Amino acid sequence: MRKKKFLKIRTSVVFGALIIASSGCATTINLAAPTTLVQPAVTTLPTGTTAELFGQMKSTLSELSHAITNEDKPRAKTTLATVLNIWGALQPQIVADGGETVDQTVEDMQRIIDLASSSVLRTRPADADKALRFLDLVIQSQH
């Protein structure tokens, strides 16, 4: 009887120690780390036809991949801001052009913008490369 009581106490102590030890592995949050991307400093949006803006977007996304690969975070953030500015000018033109696939085109472009943003946030050049490849597909579908 005494041995059972000892085992229960011992089990409780071991279990308690495991709980304390596992709670010691908590994640540390760095509140001083930046959490936002550079916002476009340009007050006017780029201009041009839909085709010209798609071309600007393509060359800018190409630059984004290079900046991330070269670990040039300031350039990557500035380039992303340019991508966002181009999208700000391109989206209304896509919608105005209409067509039966306008909603799908806007959704596809938003995915491209999301990939570009995540490439900078997570330092993932592969996301910028995917965005560029997907943009090529969107451009081809416009012809």
Over residues 135-140, the mean pLDDT reads 94
Residue 112 lies in a domain: yes
Residue 124 placed within a domain: yes
Lowest-pLDDT range of 27-31, 45-49, 132-136? 27-31
Which pLDDT tens digit goes with each residue over 7-16? Answer: 555 555 555 5
pLDDT in tens, 90-118: 999 999 988 888 999 999 999 999 999 99
Is the residue at 30 inside a domain? no
Q: What is the CA radius of gyration of the chain?
A: 25
Using a pLDDT cut of 70, give the percent of the chain over it.
70
Q: What is the mean pLDDT of residues 36-45?
A: 55
CATH number at residue 102: 1.20.120.340
- In this structure, is residue 108 part of a structural domain? yes
In a domain, 19, yes or no: no
**Has residue 9 been placed in a domain?**
no
| In a domain? residue 38 | no
State how many domains the chain has: 1
Is residue 1 in some structural domain?
no
Identify the DSSP state of 24. Answer: T
Burial class of 45 by CB neighbour count within 10 A (0 to 12, 13 to 18, 19+):
middle
Distance of CA 136 to the CA centre of its chain: 19
CB 131, CB 61: distance < 8 Å: yes
pLDDT in tens, 54-86: 999 999 999 998 999 999 999 999 999 999 999
Locate all alpha helices (DSSP H) within the chain, ordered by sequence.
2-23, 50-69, 73-97, 102-121, 125-141
**pTM of structure:** 0.68
Q: Which domain holds residue 71?
A: 50-141
